[in-house]
């Protein structure tokens, strides 16, 4: 595991993702912190004395170094950042004129309701809170969102919790008057260990992004009903900040062709198929920008492995396919279809 600092120049000099250890973070100078939009730890939020900066975690255990964090920074000269929190106080955010990072950790408060109702209400309320903030600050375009919920493949009231989550997410988009297909954010949705809170974090922008679909895959918002009454709301990838060079956000990507899982039970074949899907998305992004800007080597990857014992096979497979990616983090997470063993997201 590479524990040295690396960054994907998100091309632009505007938005940068860096993966650093919390030790490295602790030694960063004040001027550097001024450019930080938000920090995301993996198994737990890193201990940082930065009151104005949203600090969160996906709650997914790391399969490599244990104190790594994602740092989202705005590096355009002269950028001024401001911080805030939602009226309910659960959502913390920080923004520049162009971009906003926000994060929320929320628990499912059982009360008198059923587990399904609780999950539906918690999810819908979380998204409502996010949309309220975006309406208030004017960062109207949700470009990338990460969703982590405990027991994602568990059942509640006769349906999978991921499917309840999809219903609530779709309801929230509809009620806020937002599109439920086409211009929807890039996303990931993964399972955290039983007992974890729901963790959601996101990037939003004032200017419109460009959404990218994968020619090899059915758009998720058009999945057939056998995958749930309400389709997942996400785009396969999203391109933001094109005038400055452009950051490409690749959504969680798995071994799905059309709408079907392929290679069930074969983690090596799933890893290869996932990289074929990501390569197809990069080609699509390059076609849209009209030049060969994005390549697998330029990506910072986050790899979610369902069974920790599959890690060596996934690592070996990826090292054969990618000579020198900008960075790879391996995490343990359940994936939102029971037959998927690996999922990969990327920033380029
Ligand atoms: C898939 O392609 C795999 O529900 O937000 C990937 C990325 C997946 C995002 C989401 C789900 C989501 O359907 C699962």
Cβ–ligand 1 contact at 234 (below 6 Å): yes
pLDDT at 12: 47
Q: What is the pLDDT of residues 77-99, one digit of tens each?
A: 888 999 999 988 899 999 999 99
pLDDT category of residue 10 using cuts at 50, 70 and 90:
very low
The answer to whether the Cα torsion of 282, 252, 302, 82 is positive or negative is positive
Which residue has its alpha carbon closest to ligand 1 atom 9?
Answer: 188
pLDDT at 88: 85
pLDDT at 5: 39
pLDDT at 113: 87
Dist. CA 201–CA 303, nearest whole Å: 18
pLDDT at 9: 41
Q: What is the pLDDT of residues 246-282, one digit of tens each?
A: 899 999 999 999 999 999 999 999 999 999 999 999 9
Contact 233, 170 (CB under 8 A): yes
pLDDT at 244: 66
* Res. 4: pLDDT tops 50: no
User: What is the token pair recorded at 167?
Assistant: 């219903």
Q: Does 343 participate in catalysis according to the annotation?
A: yes
Cβ–ligand 1 contact at 189 (below 6 Å): yes
User: What is the token pair recorded at 248?
Assistant: 């490409």
Cβ–ligand 1 contact at 187 (below 6 Å): yes
pLDDT at 245: 74
3-class secondary structure per residue, the chain: CCCCCEEEECCCCCEEEEEEEHHHHHCCCHHHHCCEEEEEECCCCCCCCCCCCCEEECCCCECCCCCEEEEEEECCCCCCCEEEECCCCCEEEEECCCEEEEEEEECCCCCCCCHHHHHHHHHHHHHHHHHHHHHHHCCCEEEEEEEEEECCCCEECCEEHHHHHHHHHHHHHHHCCCCCCCCCCEEEEEEECCCCCEEEEEEEECCCCEEECCCCECCHHHCCHHHCCCCCCCECEEEECHHHCCEEEEEEECCEEECEECCCCCHHHHHHHHHHHHHHHHHHHHHHHCCCCCCHHHCEEEEEECCHHHHHHHHHHHHHHCCCCCEEEEEECEECCCCCCEEEEEEC
> Which residue, 335, 277, 280, 281, is CA-closest to 303?
335
Q: What is the pLDDT of residues 94-144, one digit of tens each?
A: 999 999 999 999 999 877 689 999 999 999 999 999 999 999 999 999 999
Q: Residue range 20-44: average pLDDT?
A: 94
CATH (one of 3.90.550.10, 3.40.50.1820, 3.40.47.10, 3.30.1330.40) for 2-347? 3.30.1330.40
* Res. 1: pLDDT tops 50: no
Q: What is the pLDDT of residues 296-329, one digit of tens each?
A: 989 999 999 999 999 999 999 999 999 877 789 9
* Res. 7: pLDDT tops 70: no
* Res. 33: pLDDT tops 70: yes
Rg (the chain; Cα; Å)? 19
Cβ–ligand 1 contact at 202 (below 6 Å): no
Dist. CA 100–CA 325, nearest whole Å: 27
pLDDT category of residue 8 using cuts at 50, 70 and 90:
very low
Q: Which residues pair with 92 in a beta bridge?
A: 85, 103
Sole residue written with tokens 């058009």: 222
> Which residue, 74, 68, 77, is CA-closest to 33?
74
Cβ–ligand 1 contact at 251 (below 6 Å): yes
**How far, in Å, from the CA of 77 to the mean position of ligand 1?**
35
pLDDT at 323: 82
Sole residue written with tokens 């890690």: 311
**How far, in Å, from the CA of 86 to the mean position of ligand 1?**
27
**How far, in Å, from the CA of 185 to the mean position of ligand 1?**
11
Dist. CA 279–CA 296, nearest whole Å: 7
Q: What is the pLDDT of residues 137-181, one digit of tens each?
A: 999 999 999 999 999 999 999 999 999 999 999 999 999 999 999
pLDDT at 79: 87
pLDDT at 90: 93
Q: What is the pLDDT of residues 181-235, one digit of tens each?
A: 999 999 999 999 999 999 999 999 999 999 999 999 999 999 999 999 999 999 9
Residue 251 CA: which ligand 1 atom is closest?
A: 7
Q: What is the pLDDT of residues 236-252, one digit of tens each?
A: 999 999 776 789 999 99
Dist. CA 61–CA 82, nearest whole Å: 31
pLDDT at 35: 95
* Res. 2: pLDDT tops 70: no
Dist. CA 14–CA 166, nearest whole Å: 32
Contact 318, 347 (CB under 8 A): no
Catalytic residue among 160, 315, 343, 345: 343
């Amino acid at each position: 595991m590479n524990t040295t600092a690396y960054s994907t120049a998100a091309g632009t000099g505007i938005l940068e993702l860096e993966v650093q250890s919390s030790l490295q973070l602790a030694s960063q100078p004040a001027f550097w912190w001024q450019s930080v939009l938000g920090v995301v730890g993996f198994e737990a939020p890193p201990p940082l004395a930065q009151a104005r900066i949203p600090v969160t975690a996906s709650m997914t255990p790391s399969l490599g170094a244990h104190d790594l964090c994602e740092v989202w920074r705005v590096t355009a000269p002269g950028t001024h950042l401001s911080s805030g929190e939602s009226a309910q106080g659960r959502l913390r955010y920080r923004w520049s004129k162009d971009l906003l990072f926000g994060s929320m950790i929320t628990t499912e408060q059982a009360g008198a309701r059923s587990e399904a109702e609780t999950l539906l209400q918690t999810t819908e309320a979380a998204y409502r809170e996010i949309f309220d903030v975006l309406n208030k600050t004017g960062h109207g375009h949700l470009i990338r969102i990460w969703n982590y919920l405990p027991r994602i493949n568990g059942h509640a009231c006769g349906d999978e919790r991921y499917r309840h989550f999809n219903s609530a997410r779709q309801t929230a988009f509809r009620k806020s008057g937002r599109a439920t297909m086409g211009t929807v954010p890039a996303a990931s949705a993964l399972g955290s260990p039983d007992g974890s809170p729901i963790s959601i974090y996101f990037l939003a922008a004032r200017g419109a992004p460009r959404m990218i679909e994968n020619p090899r895959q059915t758009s998720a918002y058009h999945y057939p009903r056998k995958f749930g009454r309400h389709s997942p709301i996400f785009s396969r990838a999203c391109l933001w900040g094109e005038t400055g060079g452009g950051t490409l956000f690749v959504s969680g990507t798995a071994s799905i062709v059309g709408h079907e899982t392929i290679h069930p039970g074969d983690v090596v074949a799933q890893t290869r198929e996932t990289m074929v899907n990501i390569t197809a998305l990069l080609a699509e992004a390059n076609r849209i920008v009209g030049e060969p800007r994005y390549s697998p080597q330029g990506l910072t990857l986050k790899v979610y492995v369902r069974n920790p014992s599959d890690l060596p096979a996934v690592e070996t497979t990826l090292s054969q396919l990618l000579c020198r990616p900008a960075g790879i983090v391996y995490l343990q997470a359940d994936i939102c279809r029971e037959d998927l063993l690996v999922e990969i997201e990327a920033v380029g």
